[in-house]
Amino acid sequence: MKLIVTENLLSDLEEFGISEKNYIKISNYEFNNYDTPLFDTDVFNFVYDDFLQITDEIKSNLNFYKNFIFQIKKSNLIKFSDISQNIEILYSNFKIDSINPWDLTNCIYNIKKNYEHKVLQKYTNDENAFKSFLTYLAKELVRVKLMYNFDEYFISKHLNEKLDYKYKDSISKKNKINEIQINKSLILINKVENNLMFNNFDAVVAKRFLIAIKKILET
């Protein structure tokens, strides 16, 4: 068993030099319904979407989980102190606290830019961060859409916003994208938000959305 000590969930093991061919990603739901394979394998099961909750069952049956890679927060590491000699502990240096929604949108609108790995990691692994980004992007697009028919003073008043840098940025975006792109994007955002209402958060769905929205809006 390997334990990764991290404050933010990781979506891959690149930081530790572990090749993708040496592990498969499984959800916490799949982990909770895991059955022992018929044959031994050197491939690890990497639980990517939740932190491990230590239980007596896990402590007493470490051999069952020998091919697993889990993630835990540093504050919970002490709970593993009595079994630490039987597991490999890895420490992540990855920090994503300073990443903001506009780090994503700067890439989305620019055909010459690709997503940075660390930015993707934040917004596709954290459900709350992803939902917040959907809200941010939708509001930004609505602001730009309104500018085709109204001036910034009218819009800021009705959206109850300060007339600040956001409006200068929106004017710039209005000159680069069209209403068809905006409408397609808002439909896609609504579709994803509805999906989240009835289904569990899925990092794969989040990544697919970011790929699709960039294809629509990049210029």
Taking only the tens place, the pLDDT of each residue in 41-81 is: 788 999 988 888 877 777 777 777 788 999 998 888 877 76
Distance CA 130, CA 104 (A): 11
- Measured between alpha carbons, how far apart are the two ends of the chain, in Å? 46
Confidence of residue 14 (pLDDT cuts 50, 70, 90): confident
Determine which of 11-20, 92-101, 127-136, 188-197 has the lowest per-residue pLDDT on average.
92-101
Distance CA 53, CA 64 (A): 16
Residue 98 buriedness (CB in 10 A; 0-12 / 13-18 / 19+): exposed
Q: Residue ranges of the alpha helices (H) in the chain?
A: 28-32, 56-60, 101-108, 117-125, 127-146, 152-158, 165-174, 179-198, 203-217
Distance CA 70, CA 4 (A): 6
Res. 204: pLDDT tops 80: yes
Please write the tens of the pLDDT for every residue from 94-128: 665 567 888 899 899 999 989 888 788 888 888 88
Residue with more model confidence, 182 or 94? 182
Res. 175: pLDDT tops 60: yes
pLDDT at 173: 92
**In terms of pTM, does the model score above 0.95?**
no
The strand pairing partners of 175, in sequence order, are: none
Query: What single DSSP character describes residue 104?
Result: H
Domains of the chain by range and CATH? 2-91 (no CATH), 101-217 (1.20.272)
CB of 218 closer than 8 Å to CB of 108: yes
pLDDT at 58: 73
**Tokens representing 9?**
């969930």
Distance CA 178, CA 176 (A): 7
Distance CA 92, CA 67 (A): 19
